[in-house]
Amino acid sequence: MVSGPSLDEQAYVREGATQTAVKILVVGHFAVGKTTFIGAISEIEPLTTEETMTRAAESVDDLKGVQGKTTTTVAMDFGRLTISDRVVLYLFGTPGQQRFVQMWEDMARGALGALVLVDPERLADSFAVIDLIEQYGLDYAIAVNHFDGAPLRDEMALRDALDLLEDTPVVTCDARDERSSADALITLVRHLQDRAH
Ligand SMILES: Nc1nc2c(ncn2[C@@H]2O[C@H](COP(=O)(O)OP(=O)(O)OP(=O)(O)O)[C@@H](O)[C@H]2O)c(=O)[nH]1
Ligand SMILES: [Mg+2]
C-alpha cells in the first residue's frame, strides 16, 4: 500500500511553498566587517563566535585603521536571509585571521558562492582571500565595505588592483546597514544565477 503524506507533512508542506536553501560564504580579511555584515541582515539571531582580543595577540592582529574593535571571530558567523518566497540564503561568515584560515576549506564545501568583503584602504589584504576563493572554485562578488571617511576608489582602479574578471560584480555597501548589505547579496545571487545558465 502506498501511503499518503503524514499529518505533519500535510500541515507543514504547502503546495508551491518549496524553497531553495542556498549556502553562501561571507569572506574577507581580518576586521573587514564580516560579523557586522551578517549581524546587520540576518533575520534570525545570528550565531557568532566572538572572543575578546588579548594583549598577547596585539602583535599578531593587525588593528591598524580599525578603532574600537575588541573581539574577533574564532570559528564562524551564521545567519539567514530570505530573499524571495523561493530562495533562502544561509550565510556562513569565516574567521578573518590567518591562523584560522584552514577552517575555510571545510566551510566552503557545499557553498554556491562567496561574497568577498573588501576594505578599500587595505586592498592588498584581499589578494590572498580572493586567491583562496578561486582555489575552491567558488564564484564570487566583491562588496566594498565603505568605512567612514575612506575615499571611494573608482571601480576600474579597484578591478585592476584586485585583478578581477570582467563579469565579477563589484558593489559598495556599509556592513552596518541592512539594506545595502542585502543588496550586495542579491547582486551575488543574480551573478550565480547568470553563471548557472
Ligand atoms: N566605521 C565603520 N566601521 C565599521 C564598518 N564595518 C565594520 N566596522 C567596524 O569594524 C570593526 C570590525 O568589524 P567585524 O564585523 O568584527 O569584522 P570581521 O571581519 O568580522 O573581523 P574578524 O572576524 O576578526 O576577522 C568593528 O569594530 C565594526 O564596528 C563600517 O562600514 N564603518
Ligand atoms: Mg568576524
Classify 109 in phi/psi space as left (phi over 0), alpha (psi -120 to 50) or beta. beta
Distance (angstroms) between ligand 1 centre and the Cα of 1 equals: 58
Q: Which ligand is nearest to the CA of 57?
A: 1
Q: Is 147 in the pocket of ligand 1 (CB under 6 A)?
A: yes
Distance 145 CA to ligand 1 centre (A): 9
48 lines ligand 1 (CB under 6 A): no
Distance from the CA of 13 to the center of ligand 1, in angstroms? Answer: 39
CA of 14 to the centre of ligand 2 (A): 37
- Residue 60, phi then psi, degrees to nearest 5: -90, -45
Mean pLDDT of the chain: 88
Confidence band for 159, pLDDT divided at 50, 70 and 90: very high
Residue closest via CA to ligand 1's atom 30 equals 147
- Whether 46 has a pLDDT exceeding 70, the answer reads yes
- 102: pLDDT strictly greater than 80: yes
Mean pLDDT of 142-165: 87
Q: Tell me 94's DSSP state.
A: P
Higher pLDDT, 164 or 66: 164
Is the C-beta atom of 68 inside 6 A of ligand 1?
yes
Q: Is the pLDDT of residue 1 over 70?
A: no
Could you tell me the CA-to-CA distances from 68 to 52, 95, 131, 154, 169 in Å, in that order? 12, 18, 29, 28, 30
Taken as a whole, the chain contains a residue count of: 197
Q: Among 3.90.1490.10, 3.40.225.10, 3.40.630.10, 3.40.50.300, name the CATH number for the domain at 24-196.
A: 3.40.50.300
Residues 6+ positions from 57 with CB-CB distance below 8 Å: none
The predicted-structure confidence for 9-39, as pLDDT tens digits, reads as follows 444 545 556 789 999 999 999 999 999 999 9
Nearest CA to ligand 1 atom 9: 33
Among protein residues, the one whose CA lies closest to atom 31 of ligand 1: 147
> What H or E segment, with its residue span, contains residue 184?
helix 178-196
DSSP letters for 21-47: EEEEEEE-STTSSHHHHHHHH-SSPPB
The atom of ligand 1 lying closest to the CA of 67 is 27
pLDDT band at 65 (very low <50, low <70, confident <90, very high): low
Do 22 and 87 contact (CB within 8 A), yes or no? Answer: yes
